[in-house]
Amino acid sequence: MVVSGLHPELICDPARVQDVCTRASAAGVVAVDTESDSLHSYFHKLCLIQLSFAGNNFVIDPLALTREELGAFAGLLADGRVEKLLHGADYDLRVLDRDLGARVVHLRDTQVAAQLLGEPLTGLAALIEREAGVTLDKKYQRADWGHRPLTPELLAYAAGDTAHLELLRSRLSEKLVGLGRLPWWDEECAALESVRWEEPAPNPLAFERIKGARKLAGQARDRLAALHLWREREAAAADVPPFRIMNAEVLLELAQSPPADLAALGEVRGVGKSTVRRFGRDILYTISQAPQVAERAARARFTLDRVREARIKQARAARDAVAGALAIEPGVLGSRAALEAVVDRQPRDEAELRGCLARAWRTALLAPVLLPLVASWRAAGPRDAHPA
């Protein structure tokens, strides 16, 4: 069946926020999700907070409330006595930290549980359909959550992301217990609680992410850099995604073949009359006055370390064999970066190995295969490769 009949209460009043959070605290378990407007704005922001507990569904409107008025919700998240259920929590945790200064304690991420079970599909919709027999309608996946007013259909859609999380948590945790993997989930969720928002570092060469930019040189490259910076400034001023100002393909075309005047600019495919009217003179000025951009620093000549690569291959094969026996994705058991750390640090015992793998449960599973491998590398010496 398709999700229907959800009629979440929309909360825009600070007193009601306090009341609902008090009730959620008493319930002891609350499902949480958030929606942002990253597809529709330059400065994406927290637009909705969904809460479900004890069969009740609520949607808090953070755009109608101040950070201080949402203090009761932040307090609920920080209350270690209340279990918080999220699915794919990483982005939610970062946004909650950035916009509310909120920390989530006693977190349970159902997507992580599914990964630890080796589920082939770990998206929320697939898991809900299988475990609850409910089909989530995803037609509003790209909705503008910053737009007001919110329709009943949008509110029902948003509530669908939390309404079934408690059932999903129950089903997945039972399976984890049956396989003896519940401690793995505990450790992964505890690690997630430390996730925080990090401001992206400025990148003067961000324009090189445009497809085809790396092929440009000289003044064409300078023009693309200037146009990219102009577009970012206009998008920030209007608080819209940069593509709403001008598509990247058009920026590349203007950089390669700069128009001489407004008429020529209007002839460029993808520009149009409205763009010429709004930005034409600024675009021509940006093109004509593009400053020289520093070249990307030359990379140091890469020399393949065949010994190191052979050892990484051996470690990966050992990890893959263990993951295969457990029927989980190898990357869940240990990332390539973790295996590289094993090769580079050559841990002597489980304590040092845990420093590479970052989890006790991974260490317990991989120590019997990785530590003997490391011992063989030590015995062979630094320059003796033993390809797998």
Q: pLDDT of 42-75, one tens digit each?
A: 999 999 999 999 999 999 999 999 999 999 999 9
198 within domain boundaries: no
Report how far residue 287's alpha carbon sits from residue 289's, in angstroms, rounded to the nearest whole number: 6
**Residue 329, Cβ density class (10 Å: 0-12 exposed, 13-18 middle, ≥19 buried):** middle
Q: Are residues 267 and 372 in the same domain?
A: no
Judged against a pLDDT cut of 60, whether residue 384 lies above it is answered with no
Boundary of a domain, candidates 232, 253, 288: 288
Q: Is residue 23 part of a domain?
A: yes
List, in order, residues 6 or more apart from 41 with CB less than 8 Å away. 146, 239, 240, 241
100 lies in the same domain as 179 = yes
Q: How far apart are CA 346 and CA 356, in angstroms?
A: 9
Q: Are residues 148 and 217 in the same domain?
A: no
**DSSP summary character for residue 263:** H
Give 4's pLDDT tier (boundaries 50, 70, 90): low
Q: Which of 356, 360, 321, 322 is nearest to 342 (CA)?
A: 356
Range from 3-17, 104-118, 174-188, 339-353 carrying the lowest mean pLDDT: 3-17
Instruction: State whether 141 and 262 are in the same domain.
Output: no
> What one-character DSSP code corresponds to residue 37?
-
- Judge whether 30 lies within some domain: yes
Provide the pLDDT for residue 304: 86
pLDDT, mean of residues 210-214: 96
Please, which residues have CB within 8 angstroms of residue 141's CB and are 6 or more apart in sequence? none
Query: Is 80 exceeded by the pLDDT of residue 2?
Result: no
Report residue 385's pLDDT band, with 50, 70 and 90 as the boundaries.
very low
Segment 204-214 shows an average pLDDT of 96
The verdict on 56 and 160 lying in the same domain is: yes
Last residue within a domain, chosen from 143, 161, 192: 192
Same domain, 188 and 210: no
The CATH number of residue 311's host domain is 1.10.150
368 part of a folded domain: yes
User: Do 134 and 268 share a domain, yes or no?
Assistant: no
Residues 79 and 137 in one domain: yes
Q: Which one of 192, 219, 249 terminates a domain? A: 192
Mean pLDDT of 238-263: 97
Say whether both 367 and 251 belong to one domain. Answer: no
Same domain, 30 and 175: yes
Same domain, 43 and 176: yes
Phi-psi region of 135 (alpha: psi -120 to 50; beta: other; left: phi over 0): beta
In terms of domains, do 262 and 145 share one? no
Distance CA 216, CA 254 (A): 12
- Where does the pLDDT of residue 382 fall: very low under 50, low under 70, confident under 90, or very high at 90 and above? low
Residue pair 30/57 in contact (Cβ under 8 Å)? The answer is no
Helix (H, G, I), strand (E, B) or coil at 135: strand
* pTM for this model (two decimals): 0.92
Sheet holding 56-60, edge to edge: 9-11, 56-60, 46-53, 29-36, 83-86, 107-109
pLDDT at residue 238, as a whole number: 97
* Residue 387 pLDDT > 70: no
Distance CA 304, CA 252 (A): 35
Domain that holds residue 46: 9-192
- 384 versus 294: which is more confidently predicted? 294
